[in-house]
Amino acid sequence: MPILITGGRIITATDDYTADIYCEGESITRIEPCIDPATLPAETECIDAGGRLIFPGFIDPHVHIHLPFMGTNACDDYETASMAALAGGTTTLIEMICPGPTDEPMAAFEEWNNKAAPLAAVDYSFHMSVVRFDPLAREQLRQIATERGIPSFKVFLAYKGALDLSDEDLFAMLTMAKELGIIVTAHCENAEMIDAMQQRLLAEGKTGPEWHEPSRPTAVEADGLHHLAAMAELTGAHIYAVHTSCEPAVRAALDARLRGVNIWIEAVLPHLVLDKTYAEQAEFEGAKFVMSPPLRDKRHQAVLWGALAGRTISTIGTDHAPFNFHGQKDMGTDTFTKIPNGIPSIQERPALIYTHGVRTGRIDLHTFVDACSTQAARIFGMYPRKGDIRVGSDADLVIWDPDYKGTLSVKTSHSAIDYNGFEGWPIQGRASSVLVSGEVQARDGEFVGTIGRGRLIRREPTHF
């Protein structure tokens, strides 16, 4: 059904103007100061966006939905994750495929895609994690990038003996990435340092969730980022530092950029609004806030927001990884090293960034759109199909009510998780209507769309 959106204030990464938008098929076909409904097909749905903002659909470049981790699996599937994402205004997800070290990459790609295809109500793509780099894996990774449309890899400089690569394999993988135009996303820590710190703390009887952050302090993250950047400098590969949490890591990335390294920086919602005191709560409540890299001292938030305002940090993701407090997080009751890592926020990201970023003056509306949509589309080969409002782009649109006031709660979350890390937090502003490819999929926080209508977005390599 065609849709006409009238009277809204259109906000992109660069523009701010009022116009009508007409969507037909799955694309934006007209943007004009005033479109007469009488000239359109009779079945056209009209949405009055007067007093509302219109953003391009938000893109979350870093989510985990099907995630085997620490002997359990994340509790969302693509039905619940899609509903949660859409309720918040996110229309495209990029999920991390995380196979085990003995799994074949192609089999892992098929497993993740087969779980997404029948249930996704959002459009989606993947980053392919590289946890082995033997000849079979190399050939399959090449096929996944060039034939399946997944030109972004993920590496872990953490999780010793499980997901980390040797330096020899890391160098070879980055060399191949440069050849193929693939961008390599990376979890930057130092697996050896973390292992040593964890063993020391546990030997001292320090077993609670409050010791998770001291086991992987800021120096560990900065060292991992410096190490990856050195490899990228030698190979010419393009790299993207995920969930950058602290000033030393941001500085390491900037130092690399000044040396000519092609590096992009991602922040994630939890590090922008939560600090390490949340993970230090008594009665094991802190386990709800265990993620890696961990929550930091509050002073690091100012650095992250400042880098976003100056567009030094390009994107805001979530690192959504939902593990229930009861039955999953409590696997680590006796030792913090067994707490599944993750703070779910796939639904809450847009409203909290708007509330704590735009409304406070830390970032402007253009930066909000750029960091939550446009830069992800540009970096990962989806622009201008995604991440912008222009004729010919996918009709992925968020009509935003800037005057809405409410609170966040597990009761209004569509994720399958049994808690909300932002329970009771006030928000101002939310998505009132959310369109994916010209179809309304959510209204006022409720899913009204079609399960399974989402598509795998095949992307082209652009990072040569």
The Cα–Cα gap between 57 and 400 comes to: 11
CB 273 within 8 A of CB 348: no
CB 430 within 8 A of CB 401: yes
- Residue 423, token pair as written in the block: 């329970």
Q: What single string gives the DSSP state of each residue in 4-59?
A: EEEEEEEE-SS-EEEEEEEEETTEEEEEES---GGGS-TT-EEEE-TT-EEEEPEE
Q: pLDDT tens digits, residue range 232-268?
A: 999 999 999 999 999 999 999 999 999 999 999 999 9
Phi, psi of 82 (to 5 degrees): -65, -45
- Residue 361, token pair as written in the block: 């003056």
Q: 220: helix, coil or strand? A: helix
Least confident of 157-171, 244-258, 276-290, 331-345: 157-171
pLDDT at 380: 98
The Cα–Cα gap between 244 and 224 comes to: 11
Percent of the chain topping pLDDT 90: 95
pLDDT at 163: 61
In the predicted model, is pLDDT for residue 319 greater than 80?
yes
pLDDT at 54: 98
Q: What single string gives the DSSP state of each residue in 113-133?
A: HHHHTTT-SSEEEEEEE-S--
Taking residues 377-401, what's their average pLDDT?
98
CA dihedral for 92, 98, 99, 104, sign (positive or negative):
positive
Percent of the chain topping pLDDT 70: 99
Taking residues 40-45, what's their average pLDDT?
96
In the predicted model, is pLDDT for residue 70 greater than 80?
no
pLDDT at 168: 93
Phi, psi of 92 (to 5 degrees): -135, 135
Mean pLDDT of the chain, nearest integer:
96
pLDDT confidence bin for 71, thresholds 50/70/90: confident
* Kind and range of the H or E run holding 84: helix 78-88
Q: Which one, of 79, 75, 149, lies nearest residue 320 by Cα?
A: 75
In the chain, the amino acid numbered 229 is: A
- Residue 315, token pair as written in the block: 């994107």
- Residue 56, token pair as written in the block: 């391009």
Domains and CATH numbers, the chain: 3-55+387-405+427-447 (2.30.40.10), 57-379 (3.20.20.140)
pLDDT confidence bin for 165, thresholds 50/70/90: confident
pLDDT at 343: 97
Q: pLDDT tens digits, residue range 187-213?
A: 999 988 999 999 999 999 999 999 999
In the predicted model, is pLDDT for residue 159 greater than 80?
no
